[in-house]
């Protein structure tokens, strides 16, 4: 028989740590049905018949957040055999609020008093035996980070699951409430599972909308219940929900008084607090953060990372694989087009992405270390003050930071944002931040057109950041994103030394999804684009063409070109390069090299400062049109891999299309404004396109400055209208 253990606990109580240790490598990650909240389950090590389900971190069982709804639906509908409640014992008072509610459900509960190492170090004392007796559930002391007590807790939970002896909740509400709950229970008995009768009755007493809807009681029964609640409210002179909440807290107060003794601390500051005084200090926080990020980037992008990436791109894929493979394919007499498909299409496309892997792994590793020691929680906290100003939360910062390496893991990192609107907004805006693959485009334009001017790269980054800020402000004013970013409730966990196992797991998960993208979306897209760029209609027949100028892609580029004419690059080559950029952004550079007949590697020429070699490109653009092209390519839809990530994280086709259309519209508008206003400034005549640009400026200004959408105000004015008519 299979036993199901549900892990429940507050955010940051150590659930994930417990889960990872208990399940080892036997875990599966997915999404809860319909939403992108992570669903993790696994099997208890050594016990293949014990399934462990990690529930989202929650503070209560009220239906106030998506996580709380998911967690309680799972417990009520999926019927785990036992709940293993992870309690942060160093914050026991707040954590017990959930424990008390879990006990109300009526399933067996084992409470793991986690972080006991911290409690002991602080010199505090918890009388576990007494607490267990007063709560009416089994308690095991644990320190997940050292693996202490976990197996015992899991085994006790599994044992309890087998017995019929479910603990009776010892906690009783005051008499009037108990009577009301009993009477509500009588009314609904027969409509709900008898095991959960008390829980449903309490929830109805709290006037929990979700439970009411679910039970679909008829009007008569509902009125009867409402009557019972009203009577009780009158008797206790408070509203039902507050009555319940207060009584739970009173109970916890008694538990605390009887079982917990706190050591008087001289200055009450732990080492963590002392570090935080400096690290999250109003003045020092940002400089310290900038210094930390500089080190991370210096190592992962500039030094070790670029060494490895150059090796992977130039030597591994360039010489060893592509070089030898094409020779070998030629030697065994493979047809030219097939060699091209394998070497240029598949390996070129997939390799371009995989080439970034070493750099990504180092970046992920550094970020995982910062996350593990607890610094990332502080970063989110520091950035929250700034991000809040344009409608994002501090937690959006981490996705954007990772996105500056690669949008794919960046977009995936948005998962840690609980609030759905904040998460969508982050997914949409993350790819505005120039990723590693956009750097070659910037370098090429800077070199070929601006002779390596220093300001091009910073301007490109600034444009990306400005795009995030502007989008944040604009989107936040629409109905779909309205409302304050969720208040910042992330606990700041104490700093601790990193644990290799956790770090490696995090690096492995992120890298794996990066590789998986390369193997699927990119592979397919590379083949399709290869086909269109290698075949063309020659005198009415579809033939393999050596010269891309005659390809289907070039013809299609010709059709697309007029669309880009108002942006200043209305010829087929930039159009084709832009489409190629969808495969992987650095393909834009490759396409330019081929389309403009650059001899040799265009980027190498840039690096050597041999700008004359790029004259063909320079001749095709004015500085203004080149800048417009650069902006458009930085801001328009990201590569297919990132679009795939957006699709996966949105978990919804409509929102994915919204994101891509928004990217395109935004990029188009900005490039149009820059190019057309630039033309005007340089003394060109007024045209319909300049009128369109001015109109767009006005629209943008309006969107930035007008009053935001406000649900309350809308309802009020609707009500006033009804009233007046
Ligand atoms: P979750 O949010 O509930 O999944 O919590 P995590 O497993 O991510 O843990 C939050 C933080 O607490 C991490 O930094 C853990 O390393 C740390 N942590 C977890 N268990 C313990 C413990 O028993 N003792 C100490 N000192 N730290 C712990
Ligand atoms: Mg967790």
CATH number for the domain spanning 253: value is 1.10.287.1770
The residues placing their C-beta within 5 Å of ligand 2, an ion, are 16
Give the C-alpha separation, 559 to 665, whole Å. Answer: 19
Atom of ligand 1 nearest to the CA of 11: 2
**Are 76 and 196 in contact, with CB atoms under 8 Å apart?**
yes
8 A C-beta contact, residue 8 and residue 105: no
Please give the structure tokens belonging to residue 4.
């199901």
Q: Whose CA is nearest to atom 2 of ligand 1?
A: 12
Report how far residue 443's alpha carbon sits from residue 606's, in angstroms, rounded to the nearest whole number: 7
Residue whose CA is at the smallest distance from ligand 1 atom 25: 115
Q: Tell whether 717 is covered by a domain.
A: no
Torsion of CA 460, 464, 467, 473, to 10 degrees: -130
Are 244 and 126 contained in the same domain? no
Cα 630 from Cα 578, distance rounded (Å): 10
Q: What are phi and psi of 113, to 5 degrees?
A: -80, 95
Pocket of ligand 1 (CB under 6 A): 9, 11-17, 57, 114-115, 117-118, 143-145, 374, 493, 496
Decide: 202 and 103 in contact? Cβ < 8 Å.
no
Of 549, 231, 389, give the one whose Cα is nearest residue 397.
389
One domain, residues 437 and 300? yes
Beta strands 38-44; 27-31: pairing state: antiparallel
- Give the distance (Å) from ligand 2 centre to CA of residue 484: 24
Instruction: Classify residue 724: in a domain, yes or no.
Output: no
For 537-604, the DSSP string reads EETTEEEE-SSGGGSHHHHHHHHHHHHHGGGT--SHHHHHHHHHTTT-TTHHHHHHHHHTT-SS-HHH
Residues 156 and 208 in one domain: no
Gap between the Cα atoms of 281 and 289, Å rounded: 11
pLDDT for res 42: 92
Same domain, 119 and 194: no
Per the structure, the count of domains in the chain is 3
Same domain, 308 and 239: no
Which pLDDT score is estimated for 528? Answer: 84
Co-location of 236 and 374 in the same domain:
no
Do 330 and 452 belong to one domain?
yes
Residue 292 lies in a domain: yes
Provide the CA 553 distance to its chain's centre, in angstroms: 35
Last residue of a domain, one of 590, 618, 650: 650
Instruction: Mark whether 124 and 209 lie in a shared domain.
Output: no
CATH code of residue 125 = 3.40.50.300
Both tokens assigned to 675: 């190019």
Please identify every stretch of the chain with a pLDDT value under 70, giving residue numbers as ranges. Answer: 25, 34-36, 162-169, 264-268, 301-302, 305-306, 349, 352-353, 356, 483-491, 513-514, 517-518, 521, 708-725
Nearest residue (CA) to ligand 1, atom 19: 14
pLDDT confidence of residue 342: 82
- The DSSP secondary structure of 41-59, one letter per residue, reads EEEETTEEEEEEEEPPP-S
- List C-alpha distances in Å: 470 to 474, 477, 672: 6, 11, 16
* Ligand with an atom nearest the CA of residue 144: 1
Give the range of the structural domain holding residue 60, as residue numbers without chain letter.
3-163
Residue 406 CA to residue 119 CA, distance in Å, equals: 40
Beginning with the edge strand found earlier in the chain, give each strand of the sheet holding 27-31 in spatial order. 27-31, 38-44, 47-54, 3-9, 82-88, 109-114, 138-141
Tokens of 283: 């003045």
Output the pLDDT for position 711: 56
**Residue 688: CB atoms within 10 Å:** 9
Using the 3D structure, point to which of 261, 276, 297 is the last residue of a domain. 261
The residue with tokens 């003394």 is 683
Domain match, 432 and 348 both: yes
Residue pointed to by tokens 């891509």: 660
Whether residue 430 is found in the same domain as residue 392: yes
Residue 374 Cα: closest atom of ligand 1: 14
Q: Element (H or E) spanning 647, and its range?
A: helix 640-650
Give the residue, out of 144, 272, 378, 498, with the most ligand 1 atoms within 8 A of its beta carbon, to mutate for a pocket test.
Answer: 144
**pLDDT tens by residue, 45-82:** 888 899 999 999 898 898 877 888 899 999 998 889 99
Residues 511 and 364: beta-carbon distance below 8 Å: yes
Is 50 within the bounds of a domain? yes
Residue 715 belongs to a domain: no
Same domain, 296 and 444: yes
Q: Are 184 and 89 in contact (CB under 8 A)?
A: no
The CA distance from 133 to 122, in Å, is: 25
pLDDT number for residue 470: 93
Token digits of residue 540: 């009415």
- CA–CA dist 551, 284 (Å, integer): 57
The CA 14 to ligand 1 mean position distance, Å, reads 4
From CA 362, how far away is CA 367, in angstroms rounded?
Answer: 9
My answer on whether 240 and 310 are in the same domain is no
Q: Which residue has the tokens 């990201």?
A: 638
> Closest ligand to 13 CA?
1
Residue located nearest, by CA, to atom 9 of ligand 1: 14
pTM of the model: 0.66
């Amino acid at each position: 028989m299979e036993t199901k253990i549900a892990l429940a606990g507050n955010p940051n109580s150590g659930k994930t740590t417990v889960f990872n240790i208990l399940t080892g490598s036997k875990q599966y990650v997915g999404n809860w049905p319909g939403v992108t909240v992570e669903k993790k389950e696994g099997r208890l090590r050594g016990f293949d018949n014990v399934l462990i389900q990690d529930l989202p971190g929650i503070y209560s069982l009220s239906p106030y957040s998506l996580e709380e709804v998911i967690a309680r639906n799972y417990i009520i509908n999926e019927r785990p055999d036992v709940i293993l409640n992870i309690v942060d014992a160093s914050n026991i008072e707040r954590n017990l609020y959930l424990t008390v509610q879990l006990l109300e459900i009526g399933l067996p509960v084992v409470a793991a008093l986690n972080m006991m190492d911290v409690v002991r170090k602080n010199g505090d004392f918890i009388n576990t035996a007494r607490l267990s007796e007063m709560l009416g559930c089994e308690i095991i002391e644990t320190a997940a980070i050292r693996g202490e007590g976990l197996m015992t807790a899991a085994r006790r939970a599994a044992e309890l699951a087998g017995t019929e002896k479910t603990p009776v909740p010892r906690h009783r509400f005051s008499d009037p409430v108990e009577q009301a709950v009993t009477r509500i229970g009588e009314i609904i008995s027969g409509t709900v599972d008898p095991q959960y009768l008390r829980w449903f009755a309490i929830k109805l007493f709290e006037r929990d909308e979700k439970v009411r809807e679910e039970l679909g009681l008829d009007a008569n029964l509902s009125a009867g219940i409402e009557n019972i609640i009203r009577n009780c409210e009158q008797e206790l002179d408070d509203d039902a929900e507050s009555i319940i909440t207060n009584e739970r807290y009173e109970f916890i107060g008694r538990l605390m008084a009887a079982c917990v003794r706190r050591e008087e601390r001289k200055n009450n500051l732990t080492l963590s607090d002392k570090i935080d005084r400096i690290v999250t200090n109003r003045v020092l926080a940002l400089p310290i953060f900038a210094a930390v990020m500089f080190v991370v980037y210096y190592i992962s992008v500039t030094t070790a990372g670029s060494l490895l990436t150059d090796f992977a791109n130039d030597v591994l894929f360039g010489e060893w694989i592509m070089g030898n493979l094409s020779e070998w394919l030629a030697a065994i007499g493979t047809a030219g087009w097939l060699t091209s498909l394998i070497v240029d299409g598949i390996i070129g496309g997939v390799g371009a992405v995989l080439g970034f892997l070493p750099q990504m792994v180092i970046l992920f590793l550094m970020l995982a270390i910062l996350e593990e020691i607890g610094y990332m929680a502080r970063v989110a906290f520091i950035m929250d003050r700034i991000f809040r100003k344009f409608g994002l939360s501090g937690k959006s910062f981490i996705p954007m930071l990772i996105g500056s390496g690669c949008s794919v893991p960046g977009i995936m990192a948005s998962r840690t944002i609980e609030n759905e609107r904040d998460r969508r907004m982050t997914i949409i805006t993350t790819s505005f931040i120039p990723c590693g693959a956009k750097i070659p485009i910037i370098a090429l334009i800077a070199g070929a057109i601006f002779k390596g001017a220093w300001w091009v790269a910073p301007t490109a980054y600034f444009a990306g950041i400005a795009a995030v800020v502007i989008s944040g402000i604009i989107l936040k004013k629409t109905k779909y994103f309205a409302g304050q970013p969720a208040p910042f409730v992330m606990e700041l966990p104490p700093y601790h030394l990193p644990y290799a196992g956790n770090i490696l797991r995090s690096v492995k998960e992120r890298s794996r999804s990066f590789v998986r993208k390369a193997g699927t979306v990119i592979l397919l897209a590379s083949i399709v684009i290869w086909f269109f760029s290698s075949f063309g209609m020659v005198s009415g027949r579809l033939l393999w063409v050596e010269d891309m100028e005659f390809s289907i892609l070039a013809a299609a580029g010709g059709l697309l070109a007029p669309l880009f004419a108002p942006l200043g690059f209305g010829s087929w080559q930039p159009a084709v390069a832009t489409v190629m950029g969808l495969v992987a952004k650095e393909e834009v550079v490759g396409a330019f090299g081929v389309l403009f007949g650059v001899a040799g590697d265009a980027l190498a020429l840039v690096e050597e400062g041999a700008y004359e070699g790029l004259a063909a490109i320079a001749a095709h653009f004015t500085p203004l049109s080149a800048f417009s092209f650069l902006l458009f390519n930085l801001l328009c839809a990201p590569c297919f891999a990132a679009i795939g990530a957006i699709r996966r994280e949105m978990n919804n086709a409509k929102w994915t299309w919204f994101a891509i259309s928004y990217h395109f519209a935004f990029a188009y508008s900005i490039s149009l404004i820059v190019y057309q206003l630039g033309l005007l400034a340089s003394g060109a005549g007024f045209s319909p396109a300049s009128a369109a640009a001015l109109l767009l400026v006005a629209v943008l200004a309006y969107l930035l400055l007008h009053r935001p959408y406000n649900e309350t105000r809308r309802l009020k004015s609707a009500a006033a209208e009804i009233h007046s008519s």
